[in-house]
Structure 1
Amino acid sequence: DVRLGFDLCVQEQDFLCKRKNYVIPALKNVLQLEQDLLDHEAPVVAVMTTGGGMRSLTALYGSLRGLKKLNVLDCATYLTGLSGTTWTMSNLYRDADWSQKDLDKQISEARKHMTKCKINSFSLEYLKFYKKQLCQRKREGRKTSFIDLWGLVLESFLHDGKDNHRLSDQQQAIDRGQNPLPIYTAVNVKNNYSTLDFKEWVEFTPYEVGLQKYGVFVRTEDFGSEFFMGRLMKKVPESRICFLEVWFGHLHLLVLLKEKTFGVYYLPRLLAGWPCPGQVGFTIFSPAEEEPPLPAKAQELRTRLFTPPGPLGSALRAVLADRVCIAQEHNFLRGLQIHSDYLENPHFCRWKDTVLDTFPNQLTQSDEFLSLVDTGFFINTSVMPLLKPERKVDVILHLNYSALDQTCKYCSEQGIIFPRVDLSEEDRKNLKECYLFDGAETPGAPVLLFFPLVNDTFQKYKAPGQKRSESEMEDGKVDLYGCCSPYSTYSLQYSEKAYDRLVQLGEYNILNNEDLIIQALRTAVARKRQIKN
């Protein structure tokens, strides 16, 4: 009942064939070719996103609209995400034809939820609903935690009521190859070890969930069920998407919990249904720094959570486990036997990076549960699934500012082929809107287009080549990372103006660098032709 092997699953291979029917005409259009590319000449293009809470959720809408306007979105085969960008992705893939349509409707719907007051999510009615949902998950045989509760809260933040959408439902959005294949990422950790000492990449697609380190995968609808020695022992209903979204991205929650004002005062009062001064939903914090350092162990955050007495508080306390920051699901690797020569397997070695990997009894097949955390605990990137040799990715559009240096260092240490990235000291201090790293010095590396989330020429231009008038200069003032920025990781609600400006900035930075995007695609096509010849 589990799939063993490092090849792509049959469904993904079938998707790749269908996706070419969209990619090849799109490349002909974008590159202004006289003839269609042959199958072997069409590069595999991936759009890779990074985390950043509501900021990354919002900016991604703008970036994708920019790619759509350039017809580059139809050139993409994969779309990967973590943290806040996975919330955008899961919203988009509810529509089976989202990338074939104007994105204005999707952006408008997200705007409604991003700008609404969030206080109602902590009303007595919602708390009773949360309790009912958590109790149901416990009856199904799942381990519940505060992460599950936060997933329900996020659902109320971003939707109107209960959302019955599940990850496997997204198969309808890729069954004809009409959209890029979405890949969501998380990290499996161990209870008594930091992410620096032990972490394993977990990838989620509408088809299957798996750990690429072991080459073990299960159908997405079976994830969370009980397995032993590769056999399905007890079927558990597939989780609603809100519970997965919070596994993919809850680092921002830990930042919130670390803040005493929230963890000790606001949250208990909200959980109890007591009124709080001020407007919760706006930024209710005054952080000394934008992203304070977090411990490598999720459970080591110094937080205090006081739940006031009362039947509702007791019920919530009863269904929440004591581990605040880690989501646990039944381990589908449980009982599998590791081959005696596993350390010599090149697939395993690609992702082997800790001393624990040399001890078979310390590996994941011995654990009853997988312990899942936001990938951002280790590194703010969703690129790893794209670096599987089997996916043969030729071009990566790296959206939003993230730990690019960390990614390069990690790939170098692991022997994973990745372009060499050289940024001058001046560039590091004043990032541009886009950088092209063609990987010429690293044979086999994909072409990398790096789009930091910065406000550069957008300050003076409302569109490429169109200068702002004096009355429009205010719209170009987008404070992304300052101490008074409305886009802090702490922010759960934006003003309409702040939301619109961030979407427009994300779109502009794509449109203003059309030439570099076309150059990257031309480079990839030339390499594909050269390899064939």
Structure 2
Amino acid sequence: MYCGRRETKESPPPEILSCFDLLKMQQSLAAFFNLLLITQDLDVTATTMEQDGLLSQKLMSQTSRLRDGNMWLNPEGEQWTSLTKIESSPCYLLTVRVIRARNIHQADVLSQTDCYVRLWLPTASNEKFQTKAVKNCKDPVWNETFYFRIQSQVKNVLELALYDKDIITQDDHLFTVYFDIAKLSLGEEVFMHFKCDSQRQEELEVGFALDNISGPPETIITNGVLVARKICCLEVQVVEKKKKKKKKEKKSLSKKEFSFRVQGSYEGTQDIMLGSNLVFSSSSPAKFHYARYKQPTLDVTLPGKKRPPSLHSRVYGTGSPNMELHSIPSGENMILVEDKRFDLYAKAEDCPDHLDVRLGFDLCMQEQDFLCKRRNYVAPALKKVLQLQQDLLDHETPVVAIMTTGGGMRSLTALYGSLRGLKKLGVLDCAMYLTGLSGTTWTMSNLYRDADWSQKDLDKQISEARKHMTKCKINSLSLEYLKYYKKQLCQRKREGRRTSFIDLWGLVLESLLHDGKDNHRLSDQQRAIDRGQNPLPIYTAVNVKNNYSTLDFKEWVEFTPYEVGLQKYGVFVRTEDFGSEFFMGRLMKKVPESRICFLEGMWSSLFSFNVLYIWNLSHSSEDFWHRWTRDQIDNIEEEPLLPLKPHELQTRLFTPPGPLSNALRGALTDRLCISQDHNFLRGFQMHNDYLENPRFSRWKDTVLDTFPNQLTQSDEFLSLVDTGFFINTSVMPLLKPERKVDVILHLNYSAGSQIQALDQTCKYCSEQGILFPRVDVSEEDRKKLKECYLFDGAETPGAPVLLFFPLINDTFQKYKAPGQKRSESEMEDGQVDLYGCCSPYSTYSIQYTEKAFDRLVQLSEYNILNNEDLIMQALHTAVARKRQMKK
């Protein structure tokens, strides 16, 4: 055994509504949702019935995937891209000898430290192991050895945590050393001295050895950032024996409970009742999916027995057996317990190598097919609007994208006007992509219910939106609607989802923007792009973490009708599968796809704020708070100094914060509420060279990117929030190099500063090395912005041409259409107060008058039409560059 076992025999330890009206509505909704939490227990728990349903579902077969055209990874490798591959990779034996520590400072007031070291290598074992505690000694000596079986292509970072054992209070955590195993060379033994505190001369001495291990190499699947490893399926079966009845015979196993547990498996623990009316058979075994490399143990608690204290013992007969799963022959039934009343069998088999997620950084096949079809609309449209003499060839056709920003109902309304303006100019037919966040996602999801919306005028859609924007909203809190909300939330809980206030917000949005229940789903929008008849919609969100501000940790997430994914890791799932449960890239439990209202709630989750976000709104940065909200991490010296390798991480020391810092950090970073969905990255591991991968490096911008054990693949849930909590922009999916976007029409609907989000985007792209045009707006213009700015990106080769449309009211005050002045009686219609203190267009306004709605639509449409020349100039520039590039 090579999974953290040590030489010692001890076991490891175990009308128009005002902002005030909106606030009252929010408080009412919050109180109602709290009531639901109490009465319905909306936290998702895995009941036995739910597990039986889970186990009865089969993983999607390879044949059906190929038939549906959605098979992304083929076991034979024919359809894999060059960036994703299957390979055989050796495993090594890592020996860790915890020798001693010196000059450990006193943590207790009345006594010396009682030190022990806890070892954690999550890429090799589910368990944490520890040395014995040495009492009242500042220079403890342990000399204990531990063994781990590690995969050479995985980033293995060993955590060595020093604790002071306390009997009454919780053990004091003194510090943790993070050591990258990639520093070690095969076949060599080194003794490392980690200088943990130079002033106090604290030091931890540990010996390491890395050796070959017997057995065949392991088959892995990797895209250079994530690694998927082999998983197995264990079936545990109980068969009750028939026997003759006797008068004085004791009761049989009627209603007796068996408990099965495989630590680190997808299922975890299953408690199953066996009674006279329920006898196990081969059609109903208890199943566990686990990673073979961690070599876990099956822990069985028999009826009438208590769970054994150790998972390492092996007890047979009528006791509670524990079986090390590597000892079970593959594909064979093995008897674990033979009893007069029942037999207990176990069988382990390898799971297929193909994955149910797409590992890769390229575009999915469906999007590539869409681009080919969409080009048949775009090329003739460009020829027409640019008045070209010749048809555009494929390589001469630029990729044009429409990018929007959030802004609640203001952005929903203004986007309709902008799109109608682009339609009148013929430019809408030139667009390949349409991206959105927050309020613009509400417009997009409404439009894509019509399979041919961009081929028609938008008057019908605008009229429908006008009806809902001007209706009374108080009905959304009626008793009838509250009952409906409760029913829908309970239904999501039964489906196996973790519900939150964000789900309730999505249902409220549904009532605000629709008549009755809306069964539309994101994957239904495939019908609106199956012929390339409309631009491809992309919706955005960011993944965040507890205890971290959005500036410190955020990861871009994109949603299309085809798939949902994180470009940083190069991992995507079919849109129909988002929210389902995955383990190591395999689909474990299929959950019904969410109705789009719940996604709209998440995309516009204005309730997912924290104190630091509010601080950041009024200050240029949150640097003042970093001493309270960031981990204290320092690079430390080590002896001997090992040769530096390109992909290795520096050895670092983490010093835990005190109780006051912990409390303050929680108060500053905790979010009011957050949307959580099952993490489809769960179980993956980071590749040894992930930091050197250029695609990961492009989006590497969080404080945890060099801490692989704490990245997203280790989380059970994704925590998704409105992109506006970082930057109010949906441009990031368009900057993916594989999409090759040439022109971006930036439609801005932000409140306050119209150029702040654009400045933030430029700064972010510059820091990340992402090609983006330099924004050069004079101070004079910043005081009084024009209706449109053209940034051609000439100073940044490869950057897209950017057209920036701030939402302002400039010449519209005097002109009702380009070149048509207003009469005296029409001047009032041009007075659109967008951002004043009495403006009806506050981000928090949820109801407009008919006049306010019409004026905003007309203004946003006018600003597009009045800048036709700049739009045509940008398109001409893009075509010329495409032709020059081919030459």
Normalised by the length of structure 2, the TM-score is: 0.52
| 1:296 CA drift (Å) | 37
CA contact (8 A) 1:111 1:499 kept: yes
CA contact (8 A) 2:549 2:669 kept: no
Structure number, greater radius of gyration:
2
In 2, Cα distance between equivalents of 1:182 and 1:8: 14
The equivalent of 1:252 in structure 2 is: none
Aligned partner of 1:490 among 833, 836, 844: 844
The structure richer in helix per residue is 1
| 1:318 CA drift (Å) | 24
| 1:338 CA drift (Å) | 1.1
Q: Secondary structure at the match of 1:450?
A: strand
C-alpha distance 349-311 of structure 1, shift in aligned 2 (>3 A): closer
| 1:376 CA drift (Å) | 0.4
| 1:354 CA drift (Å) | 1.8
Give the unaligned 5+ runs of structure 1. Answer: 248-273, 275-288
Aligned partner of 2:658 among 278, 286, 310: 310
CA contact (8 A) 2:407 2:749 kept: no
In 2, Cα distance between equivalents of 1:180 and 1:452: 22
Aligned partner of 1:339 among 679, 682, 687: 687
| 1:355 CA drift (Å) | 2.2
1:126-153 alpha-carbon deviations (Å, 9 max, x no partner): 0000000000001111111111001000
Q: Secondary structure at the match of 2:652?
A: coil
CA contact (8 A) 1:290 1:488 kept: no
| 1:360 CA drift (Å) | 0.4
| 1:483 CA drift (Å) | 0.3
The structure richer in strand per residue is 2
| 1:298 CA drift (Å) | 37
| 1:325 CA drift (Å) | 2.6
1:477-501 alpha-carbon deviations (Å, 9 max, x no partner): 1000000000011200000000000
Q: Secondary structure at the match of 1:356?
A: coil
C-alpha distance 74-308 of structure 1, shift in aligned 2 (>3 A): farther
CA contact (8 A) 2:359 2:572 kept: yes
| 1:186 CA drift (Å) | 0.1
Q: Secondary structure at the match of 1:157?
A: helix
CA contact (8 A) 1:74 1:179 kept: yes
| 1:46 CA drift (Å) | 0.1
C-alpha distance 106-14 of structure 1, shift in aligned 2 (>3 A): same
CA contact (8 A) 1:298 1:326 kept: no
In 1, Cα distance between equivalents of 2:638 and 2:503: 26
1:101-148 alpha-carbon deviations (Å, 9 max, x no partner): 010000000000000010100000000000000000011111111110
1:29-63 alpha-carbon deviations (Å, 9 max, x no partner): 10001111111000000000000000000000000
1:351-378 alpha-carbon deviations (Å, 9 max, x no partner): 0112210010111000000000000000
CA contact (8 A) 2:647 2:689 kept: no
Q: Secondary structure at the match of 2:771?
A: coil
In 2, Cα distance between equivalents of 1:433 and 1:295: 57
In 2, Cα distance between equivalents of 1:512 and 1:504: 12
CA contact (8 A) 1:134 1:319 kept: no
In 1, Cα distance between equivalents of 2:863 and 2:485: 40
In 2, Cα distance between equivalents of 1:122 and 1:215: 42
C-alpha distance 342-317 of structure 1, shift in aligned 2 (>3 A): closer
CA contact (8 A) 1:455 1:478 kept: yes
| 1:526 CA drift (Å) | 0.3
1:169-219 alpha-carbon deviations (Å, 9 max, x no partner): 000000000000000000000011110110000000000000000000000
CA contact (8 A) 1:77 1:180 kept: yes
C-alpha distance 291-71 of structure 1, shift in aligned 2 (>3 A): farther
Structure 1 position 42 matched with structure 2 position 393: no
In 2, Cα distance between equivalents of 1:152 and 1:501: 28
CA contact (8 A) 1:186 1:372 kept: yes
In 2, Cα distance between equivalents of 1:118 and 1:433: 33
Q: Secondary structure at the match of 2:654?
A: coil
1:220-272 alpha-carbon deviations (Å, 9 max, x no partner): 0000000000000000000000000199xxxxxxxxxxxxxxxxxxxxxxxxx
C-alpha distance 372-295 of structure 1, shift in aligned 2 (>3 A): farther
In 1, Cα distance between equivalents of 2:375 and 2:836: 43
* 4+ residue runs over 2 A deviation: 289-325
CA contact (8 A) 2:401 2:431 kept: yes
C-alpha distance 439-310 of structure 1, shift in aligned 2 (>3 A): closer
In 2, Cα distance between equivalents of 1:523 and 1:173: 30
C-alpha distance 90-468 of structure 1, shift in aligned 2 (>3 A): same
Q: Secondary structure at the match of 1:80?
A: strand
Question: Which is further off, 294-303 or 210-219?
Answer: 294-303
1:405-435 alpha-carbon deviations (Å, 9 max, x no partner): 0000000011100000011011111011000
In 2, Cα distance between equivalents of 1:167 and 1:332: 18
C-alpha distance 16-480 of structure 1, shift in aligned 2 (>3 A): same
C-alpha distance 34-415 of structure 1, shift in aligned 2 (>3 A): same
| 1:2 CA drift (Å) | 0.2
CA contact (8 A) 2:406 2:728 kept: yes
The equivalent of 1:365 in structure 2 is: 713
CA contact (8 A) 1:399 1:450 kept: yes
Normalised by the length of structure 1, the TM-score is: 0.85
Structure 1 position 7 matched with structure 2 position 362: yes
C-alpha distance 507-292 of structure 1, shift in aligned 2 (>3 A): farther
C-alpha distance 244-319 of structure 1, shift in aligned 2 (>3 A): farther
In 1, Cα distance between equivalents of 2:661 and 2:591: 27
Structure 1 position 526 matched with structure 2 position 887: no
CA contact (8 A) 1:15 1:174 kept: yes
Question: Which residues in structure 2 correspond to 1:331-480 (within 5 Å)?
Answer: 331-402=679-750, 404-480=758-834
In 2, Cα distance between equivalents of 1:418 and 1:225: 36
In 2, Cα distance between equivalents of 1:290 and 1:73: 60
1:279-331 alpha-carbon deviations (Å, 9 max, x no partner): xxxxxxxxxx9999999999999999999999999999999999743100000
CA contact (8 A) 1:147 1:324 kept: no
In 1, Cα distance between equivalents of 2:654 and 2:691: 46
Structure 1 position 100 matched with structure 2 position 455: yes
Q: Secondary structure at the match of 1:299?
A: coil
Identical aligned residues as a percent: 91
In 1, Cα distance between equivalents of 2:566 and 2:840: 37
CA contact (8 A) 1:299 1:324 kept: no
C-alpha distance 209-451 of structure 1, shift in aligned 2 (>3 A): same
In 2, Cα distance between equivalents of 1:120 and 1:170: 29
In 2, Cα distance between equivalents of 1:290 and 1:399: 53
CA contact (8 A) 1:131 1:315 kept: no
Higher relative contact order (CA 8 A, sep 6+): 1
C-alpha distance 321-159 of structure 1, shift in aligned 2 (>3 A): farther
C-alpha distance 305-414 of structure 1, shift in aligned 2 (>3 A): closer
C-alpha distance 291-420 of structure 1, shift in aligned 2 (>3 A): farther
In 2, Cα distance between equivalents of 1:324 and 1:293: 46
In 1, Cα distance between equivalents of 2:398 and 2:837: 42
C-alpha distance 292-238 of structure 1, shift in aligned 2 (>3 A): farther
Q: Secondary structure at the match of 2:709?
A: helix
CA contact (8 A) 2:551 2:726 kept: yes
C-alpha distance 495-346 of structure 1, shift in aligned 2 (>3 A): same
Aligned length: 493
C-alpha distance 306-462 of structure 1, shift in aligned 2 (>3 A): farther
CA contact (8 A) 1:290 1:489 kept: no
C-alpha distance 312-472 of structure 1, shift in aligned 2 (>3 A): farther
Q: Secondary structure at the match of 1:161?
A: coil
In 1, Cα distance between equivalents of 2:641 and 2:424: 38
C-alpha distance 376-497 of structure 1, shift in aligned 2 (>3 A): same
Give the unaligned 5+ runs of structure 2. Answer: 1-355, 601-613, 616-627, 629-636, 752-757
C-alpha distance 416-85 of structure 1, shift in aligned 2 (>3 A): same
CA contact (8 A) 1:290 1:481 kept: no
C-alpha distance 482-320 of structure 1, shift in aligned 2 (>3 A): closer
The equivalent of 1:293 in structure 2 is: 641
Calculate the aligned-residue CA RMSD, in Å: 9.4
In 2, Cα distance between equivalents of 1:174 and 1:53: 26
C-alpha distance 156-322 of structure 1, shift in aligned 2 (>3 A): farther
